[in-house]
Amino acid sequence: MIARIVGLALLCGLSMQPGAQTEPLTVAAAVSLTDVLEEIAKAYAAAGGGAVRFNLAGSNVLARQIVNGAPADVFISADDAQMDVVQKAGAVLDGSRVELVENQLAIVATPDREDFVRQEFARAPAGIRRLAIGDPAAVPAGVYARRYLEQRGLWTAYEPRIVPTTNVRAALAAVETGSVDAAIVYLTDLAAARTAVLAFAVSAKDGPRIVYPGAVLASSRNPAEAKRFLAFLRQPEAVAIFARHKFVVPVASK
């Protein structure tokens, strides 16, 4: 009986150790990070980290969920604007916000339209009847796409043909289903393409700076583990995975 009591006490003590992870971390992340984060989560577990589950959606949707009280430990947005929404609502743990990676825009098309779109896109030809982008009123990829088109003097010509989507992966899917002639997505999304092909990538000097900030949320049930995961995203092993998926790590974060 004494041995049983001692054993139970030891088990209770272990389960109540400070910092012990009792449930997976919930990471709310931009859908464009789907593939790379799934690979990083495996590397994190192999390095001794805890389990991670992801809530993947448009950053604007995630920001709204977090502000409205949805449980999460870490938020990774596809732009500063949506992280600002969360931070201004007091939902970001002070001092935890960091820049993680950068991306660039790409114009994709079906294989039979690749050459035409690459050669003629800058002229906004009538042959590009529908152009999918993330909703430019809300979705970061759409905001970036509109900014690029405006910088190139093409927004007015393309605006009547824009097909707004709920997130960047939906814009990619619109090309693959034949619903549109072309789409503006992130260069990293090409890894998830089944039939869509790259018409051309937008160089850093010709497009807007695309940055993904990450932060621990003030409502996290396990802030110590959340900080550990966010720090892991900036370690060499994770940086190498980001690079393999065509993300660029800011110099200050290396």
- E strands, 31-130, in order: 52-57, 74-76, 98-103, 105-109
pLDDT at 97 over 60: yes
Instruction: Give DSSP secondary structure letters for 3-28.
Output: HHHHHHHHHHHHHT-TT---S-EEEE
pLDDT computed for residue 252 by the predictor: 52
Sequence ranges of the domains in the chain: 23-102+210-253, 105-201
- pLDDT score for 22: 65
Mean pLDDT computed over 75-95: 98
- pLDDT (tens digit per residue) in 116-166: 999 999 999 999 999 999 999 999 999 999 999 999 999 999 999 999 999
What does the alpha-carbon distance between residue 111 and residue 194 come to, in Å, rounded to a whole number? 11
Percentage above 90 pLDDT, the chain? 88
What is the predicted pLDDT for the residue at 219? 96
C-alpha distances (whole Å) from 212 to each of 8, 30, 77 are 46, 9, 5
Torsion angle of the four alpha carbons 170, 176, 179, 180, in this order, in degrees rounded to the nearest 10: 90
Question: Is the pLDDT assigned to residue 193 strictly greater than 90?
Answer: yes
pLDDT digits (tens, 9 = 90+) for 205-229: 899 999 999 999 999 999 999 999 9
* pLDDT of 9 strictly over 50: no
The pTM assigned to this predicted structure is 0.87
Give the C-alpha separation, 28 to 200, whole Å: 30
| CA 124 from centroid of its chain's CA atoms | 29
Complete DSSP assignment for 159-224: GGGEEEESSHHHHHHHHHTTSSSEEEEEGGGGGG-SS-EEEEEPPTTTS--EEEEEEEBTT-S-HH
23-102+210-253 and 105-201 share one fold:
yes
| Percent of the chain whose pLDDT exceeds 70 | 90
In angstroms, how far is the first alpha carbon of the chain from the final one?
56
23-102+210-253 adopts what CATH topology? D-Maltodextrin-Binding Protein; domain 2 (3.40.190)
12: confidence class by pLDDT, cuts 50, 70, 90: very low
Based on the number of CB atoms within 10 Å of its own CB, is 244 exposed (0-12), middle (13-18) or buried (19 or more)? Answer: exposed
How many angstroms separate the CA atoms of 105 and 191, rounded?
A: 14
Q: Tell whether domain 105-201 is in CATH 3.40.190.10.
A: yes
Q: For tokens 């009792």, what's the residue?
A: 22
The confidence score (pLDDT) of residue 51 equals 96
Q: Quick one: pLDDT at residue 17?
A: 40
